[in-house]
Amino acid sequence: ATYMSLVPTMAAALVNHPDIGRFDTSSLKLIVVGGAASSPELIARLEQVFHCNAMAGYGLTETAPAITTSFKKSTVIYSNEQDRVFHASMAGWPLNGTEIRVADANMNDVPRNMESIGEVVVRGDTVMDGYFKDPEATAAVMQSGWFHTGDMAVWDEESYIHIVDRKKDIIISGGENISSIEVEKAISAHPAVLECAVIAVPDSKWGEVPGAIVVAKPGSSLSEGELLGFLQGRLAKFKLPHVLQFSQEPLPKTGTGKIFKRQLREPFWAGKDRRVQGL
Protein backbone atom coordinates (compact mmCIF):
# COMPACT_ATOMS: atom_id res chain seq x y z
CA ALA A 1 0.00 0.00 0.00
CA THR A 2 1.15 3.56 -0.70
CA TYR A 3 -1.67 5.34 1.12
CA MET A 4 -3.34 4.76 4.47
CA SER A 5 -6.29 6.54 6.09
CA LEU A 6 -6.89 6.24 9.84
CA VAL A 7 -8.85 7.72 12.70
CA PRO A 8 -6.59 8.98 15.53
CA THR A 9 -7.31 6.03 17.83
CA MET A 10 -6.16 3.61 15.12
CA ALA A 11 -3.07 5.71 14.41
CA ALA A 12 -2.13 5.82 18.10
CA ALA A 13 -2.59 2.07 18.41
CA LEU A 14 -0.26 1.46 15.46
CA VAL A 15 2.58 3.75 16.50
CA ASN A 16 2.48 2.35 20.04
CA HIS A 17 2.34 -1.31 19.00
CA PRO A 18 5.45 -3.09 20.31
CA ASP A 19 5.90 -5.11 17.09
CA ILE A 20 5.30 -2.36 14.53
CA GLY A 21 8.98 -2.39 13.54
CA ARG A 22 8.74 -6.00 12.34
CA PHE A 23 6.59 -5.10 9.35
CA ASP A 24 7.73 -3.73 5.99
CA THR A 25 5.86 -0.46 5.49
CA SER A 26 8.40 1.09 3.13
CA SER A 27 5.84 1.43 0.32
CA LEU A 28 3.83 3.98 2.32
CA LYS A 29 3.98 7.50 0.91
CA LEU A 30 1.13 9.23 2.72
CA ILE A 31 -0.98 8.75 5.85
CA VAL A 32 -4.15 10.80 6.32
CA VAL A 33 -5.75 11.07 9.76
CA GLY A 34 -9.44 11.97 9.96
CA GLY A 35 -12.67 11.18 11.74
CA ALA A 36 -11.59 13.13 14.82
CA ALA A 37 -9.15 15.91 15.61
CA SER A 38 -5.48 15.00 15.30
CA SER A 39 -2.49 16.49 17.12
CA PRO A 40 1.00 17.62 16.11
CA GLU A 41 2.47 14.92 18.34
CA LEU A 42 0.54 12.17 16.54
CA ILE A 43 1.45 13.49 13.08
CA ALA A 44 5.12 13.69 14.04
CA ARG A 45 5.07 10.18 15.51
CA LEU A 46 3.43 8.73 12.38
CA GLU A 47 6.12 10.29 10.21
CA GLN A 48 8.83 8.99 12.52
CA VAL A 49 7.52 5.42 12.60
CA PHE A 50 6.48 5.03 8.96
CA HIS A 51 9.05 7.33 7.30
CA CYS A 52 6.47 9.06 5.13
CA ASN A 53 4.34 12.18 5.10
CA ALA A 54 1.34 12.37 7.43
CA MET A 55 -1.44 14.91 7.45
CA ALA A 56 -4.98 15.49 8.66
CA GLY A 57 -8.23 15.95 6.79
CA TYR A 58 -11.77 16.81 7.75
CA GLY A 59 -15.25 15.88 6.64
CA LEU A 60 -18.56 14.38 7.67
CA THR A 61 -20.96 11.75 6.39
CA GLU A 62 -23.21 14.61 5.31
CA THR A 63 -20.44 16.03 3.13
CA ALA A 64 -19.54 12.76 1.39
CA PRO A 65 -17.15 13.00 3.33
CA ALA A 66 -13.89 14.97 2.86
CA ILE A 67 -14.13 18.76 2.51
CA THR A 68 -10.66 19.94 3.58
CA THR A 69 -7.01 18.99 3.23
CA SER A 70 -3.93 20.05 5.16
CA PHE A 71 -1.69 19.70 2.10
CA LYS A 72 0.63 22.70 2.01
CA LYS A 73 -0.74 25.70 0.12
CA SER A 74 1.72 27.42 -2.19
CA THR A 75 1.08 30.69 -0.38
CA VAL A 76 2.01 29.30 3.04
CA ILE A 77 5.57 29.56 4.36
CA TYR A 78 6.36 27.51 7.46
CA SER A 79 8.47 29.29 10.05
CA ASN A 80 10.07 26.05 11.25
CA GLU A 81 9.52 22.28 11.46
CA GLN A 82 7.19 22.67 14.43
CA ASP A 83 5.03 25.02 12.37
CA ARG A 84 4.96 22.53 9.47
CA VAL A 85 3.78 19.70 11.71
CA PHE A 86 1.16 21.94 13.34
CA HIS A 87 -0.26 22.87 9.93
CA ALA A 88 -0.29 19.19 8.93
CA SER A 89 -2.35 18.38 12.03
CA MET A 90 -5.00 21.01 11.29
CA ALA A 91 -8.26 20.23 9.50
CA GLY A 92 -6.84 22.28 6.66
CA TRP A 93 -8.30 24.36 3.86
CA PRO A 94 -11.35 23.73 1.62
CA LEU A 95 -11.22 21.31 -1.30
CA ASN A 96 -12.39 22.40 -4.74
CA GLY A 97 -16.15 22.74 -5.01
CA THR A 98 -16.52 23.42 -1.30
CA GLU A 99 -17.09 26.71 0.48
CA ILE A 100 -16.39 26.77 4.22
CA ARG A 101 -16.78 29.48 6.83
CA VAL A 102 -16.23 29.70 10.58
CA ALA A 103 -19.23 31.68 11.79
CA ASP A 104 -20.75 32.99 14.99
CA ALA A 105 -24.35 32.45 16.11
CA ASN A 106 -25.50 35.25 13.79
CA MET A 107 -23.74 33.71 10.78
CA ASN A 108 -21.04 36.37 10.72
CA ASP A 109 -17.51 35.18 10.04
CA VAL A 110 -15.38 35.16 13.18
CA PRO A 111 -11.99 36.94 12.90
CA ARG A 112 -9.27 34.90 11.17
CA ASN A 113 -6.91 35.17 14.12
CA MET A 114 -6.67 31.53 15.32
CA GLU A 115 -8.32 32.61 18.57
CA SER A 116 -11.97 33.50 17.90
CA ILE A 117 -14.13 30.37 17.97
CA GLY A 118 -17.09 29.78 15.68
CA GLU A 119 -19.01 26.92 14.09
CA VAL A 120 -17.85 25.36 10.83
CA VAL A 121 -20.54 25.83 8.17
CA VAL A 122 -20.22 24.47 4.64
CA ARG A 123 -21.93 24.43 1.28
CA GLY A 124 -20.88 22.87 -1.99
CA ASP A 125 -21.29 20.09 -4.52
CA THR A 126 -20.80 17.25 -2.05
CA VAL A 127 -23.05 18.50 0.76
CA MET A 128 -26.24 16.50 1.24
CA ASP A 129 -29.67 17.84 0.31
CA GLY A 130 -31.07 16.57 3.61
CA TYR A 131 -31.71 13.57 5.82
CA PHE A 132 -33.93 10.90 4.27
CA LYS A 133 -37.58 11.48 5.19
CA ASP A 134 -36.59 13.63 8.18
CA PRO A 135 -37.42 17.28 7.42
CA GLU A 136 -37.11 18.36 11.07
CA ALA A 137 -33.56 17.05 11.39
CA THR A 138 -32.72 18.60 8.03
CA ALA A 139 -34.08 22.00 9.06
CA ALA A 140 -31.99 21.89 12.23
CA VAL A 141 -28.71 21.71 10.29
CA MET A 142 -29.47 23.27 6.88
CA GLN A 143 -29.98 27.01 7.16
CA SER A 144 -29.99 29.40 4.19
CA GLY A 145 -28.13 26.83 2.12
CA TRP A 146 -25.39 26.28 4.69
CA PHE A 147 -24.85 22.98 6.50
CA HIS A 148 -24.06 23.52 10.18
CA THR A 149 -21.54 20.86 11.19
CA GLY A 150 -21.66 21.23 14.98
CA ASP A 151 -17.85 21.47 14.96
CA MET A 152 -16.27 24.50 16.62
CA ALA A 153 -13.09 25.91 15.12
CA VAL A 154 -10.69 28.79 14.64
CA TRP A 155 -9.14 29.80 11.31
CA ASP A 156 -6.44 31.94 9.75
CA GLU A 157 -5.98 34.27 6.77
CA GLU A 158 -5.18 31.31 4.50
CA SER A 159 -8.52 29.65 5.40
CA TYR A 160 -6.76 26.89 7.34
CA ILE A 161 -9.30 25.56 9.83
CA HIS A 162 -8.35 24.18 13.23
CA ILE A 163 -11.07 22.20 14.99
CA VAL A 164 -11.19 22.93 18.71
CA ASP A 165 -14.17 20.77 19.73
CA ARG A 166 -17.59 19.42 18.97
CA LYS A 167 -20.23 21.96 19.96
CA LYS A 168 -21.74 19.43 22.38
CA ASP A 169 -18.34 18.65 23.94
CA ILE A 170 -17.33 22.19 24.85
CA ILE A 171 -17.00 22.40 28.65
CA ILE A 172 -18.51 25.57 30.14
CA SER A 173 -16.90 26.08 33.54
CA GLY A 174 -17.85 29.21 35.45
CA GLY A 175 -18.78 30.88 32.17
CA GLU A 176 -15.46 30.03 30.49
CA ASN A 177 -15.40 27.80 27.41
CA ILE A 178 -12.88 24.95 27.62
CA SER A 179 -12.02 22.84 24.59
CA SER A 180 -11.90 19.17 25.55
CA ILE A 181 -9.65 18.57 22.54
CA GLU A 182 -7.09 21.11 23.79
CA VAL A 183 -6.90 19.33 27.15
CA GLU A 184 -6.73 15.91 25.45
CA LYS A 185 -3.83 17.02 23.27
CA ALA A 186 -1.93 18.27 26.31
CA ILE A 187 -2.47 14.98 28.14
CA SER A 188 -1.58 12.89 25.08
CA ALA A 189 1.75 14.70 24.81
CA HIS A 190 2.94 12.80 27.90
CA PRO A 191 5.04 9.86 26.64
CA ALA A 192 3.35 7.38 29.00
CA VAL A 193 -0.21 8.10 27.79
CA LEU A 194 -1.74 5.65 25.31
CA GLU A 195 -5.14 7.33 24.94
CA CYS A 196 -7.39 9.68 26.84
CA ALA A 197 -10.75 11.42 26.80
CA VAL A 198 -11.77 14.68 28.46
CA ILE A 199 -15.40 15.25 29.39
CA ALA A 200 -17.46 17.67 31.45
CA VAL A 201 -18.20 16.47 34.97
CA PRO A 202 -20.60 18.21 37.40
CA ASP A 203 -19.24 20.64 39.96
CA SER A 204 -21.24 22.43 42.67
CA LYS A 205 -19.25 25.66 42.34
CA TRP A 206 -18.45 25.95 38.63
CA GLY A 207 -21.36 24.01 37.14
CA GLU A 208 -19.05 21.69 35.25
CA VAL A 209 -15.30 21.13 35.11
CA PRO A 210 -12.92 19.05 32.99
CA GLY A 211 -12.59 15.40 33.87
CA ALA A 212 -10.05 13.10 32.22
CA ILE A 213 -10.08 9.34 31.73
CA VAL A 214 -6.59 8.13 30.85
CA VAL A 215 -5.20 4.82 29.61
CA ALA A 216 -1.46 4.55 30.24
CA LYS A 217 0.90 2.59 28.04
CA PRO A 218 1.57 -1.00 29.18
CA GLY A 219 4.36 -1.19 31.73
CA SER A 220 4.26 2.49 32.66
CA SER A 221 3.81 3.69 36.23
CA LEU A 222 2.14 7.00 35.44
CA SER A 223 0.53 8.60 38.50
CA GLU A 224 -2.02 11.36 38.92
CA GLY A 225 0.55 13.65 40.49
CA GLU A 226 3.06 13.12 37.69
CA LEU A 227 0.49 13.80 34.99
CA LEU A 228 -0.91 16.92 36.67
CA GLY A 229 2.64 18.19 37.15
CA PHE A 230 3.29 17.61 33.45
CA LEU A 231 0.21 19.66 32.55
CA GLN A 232 1.25 22.61 34.71
CA GLY A 233 2.40 25.34 32.36
CA ARG A 234 0.86 23.58 29.36
CA LEU A 235 -2.68 24.52 30.29
CA ALA A 236 -4.28 27.44 32.07
CA LYS A 237 -5.12 26.50 35.65
CA PHE A 238 -8.89 26.49 35.05
CA LYS A 239 -8.42 24.02 32.19
CA LEU A 240 -6.60 21.42 34.31
CA PRO A 241 -8.61 18.24 34.97
CA HIS A 242 -10.44 18.43 38.30
CA VAL A 243 -11.17 14.71 38.04
CA LEU A 244 -8.51 12.30 36.78
CA GLN A 245 -9.21 8.59 36.42
CA PHE A 246 -6.92 5.86 35.09
CA SER A 247 -8.52 3.00 33.19
CA GLN A 248 -6.99 -0.44 32.74
CA GLU A 249 -9.30 -1.08 29.79
CA PRO A 250 -9.35 0.60 26.37
CA LEU A 251 -11.75 3.52 26.15
CA PRO A 252 -15.14 2.68 24.59
CA LYS A 253 -15.30 3.33 20.85
CA THR A 254 -18.03 3.83 18.29
CA GLY A 255 -18.23 1.67 15.18
CA THR A 256 -15.99 4.17 13.37
CA GLY A 257 -13.30 4.10 16.04
CA LYS A 258 -14.16 7.39 17.74
CA ILE A 259 -14.13 7.54 21.54
CA PHE A 260 -17.69 7.20 22.86
CA LYS A 261 -17.78 10.22 25.15
CA ARG A 262 -21.47 10.00 25.94
CA GLN A 263 -20.89 6.61 27.56
CA LEU A 264 -18.01 8.03 29.60
CA ARG A 265 -20.14 10.97 30.79
CA GLU A 266 -23.11 8.92 31.97
CA PRO A 267 -21.69 7.72 35.34
CA PHE A 268 -20.85 11.29 36.34
CA TRP A 269 -24.24 12.73 35.38
CA ALA A 270 -26.52 9.88 36.51
CA GLY A 271 -29.34 11.26 38.63
CA LYS A 272 -28.61 14.86 37.71
CA ASP A 273 -31.31 17.15 36.36
CA ARG A 274 -29.39 17.89 33.19
CA ARG A 275 -26.76 16.51 30.86
CA VAL A 276 -23.67 18.22 29.51
CA GLN A 277 -24.62 20.90 26.97
CA GLY A 278 -28.27 19.86 27.19
CA LEU A 279 -27.69 16.22 26.24
Write out the chain's pLDDT in tens, 279 residues: 899 999 998 999 999 999 999 999 999 999 999 988 899 999 999 999 999 999 999 999 999 999 999 999 999 999 999 999 999 999 999 999 999 999 999 999 999 999 999 999 999 999 999 999 999 999 999 999 999 999 999 999 999 999 999 998 999 999 888 999 999 999 999 999 999 999 999 998 999 999 999 999 999 999 999 999 999 999 999 999 999 999 999 999 998 889 999 999 999 998 875 443 333
Q: What is the pLDDT of residues 115-126, one digit of tens each?
A: 999 999 999 999
Q: What is the pLDDT of residues 187-246, one digit of tens each?
A: 999 999 999 999 999 998 999 999 999 999 999 999 999 999 999 999 999 999 999 999
What pLDDT, on a 0 to 100 scale, did the predictor assign at position 276?
Answer: 36
What pLDDT, on a 0 to 100 scale, did the predictor assign at position 273?
Answer: 53
What pLDDT, on a 0 to 100 scale, did the predictor assign at position 139?
Answer: 97
Q: Kindly report the three-state secondary structure assignment for every residue of the chain.
A: CCEEEECHHHHHHHHCCCCHHHCCCCCCCEEEECCCCCCHHHHHHHHHHHCCEEEEEEECHHHCCEEEECCCCCCCCCCCHHHHHHHHHCCEEECCCEEEEEECCCCCECCCCCCCCEEEEEEECCCCCCCCCCHHHHHHHEECCEEEEEEEEEECCCCCEEEEEEHHHCEEECCEEECHHHHHHHHHCCCCEEEEEEEEEEECCCEEEEEEEEEECCCCCCCHHHHHHHHECCECHHHCCCEEEECCCCCCECCCCCECHHHHHHHHHCCCCCCHHHC
What pLDDT, on a 0 to 100 scale, did the predictor assign at position 16?
Answer: 92
Structural domains of the chain ordered from first start: 1-167 (3.40.50.12780), 170-278 (3.30.300.30)
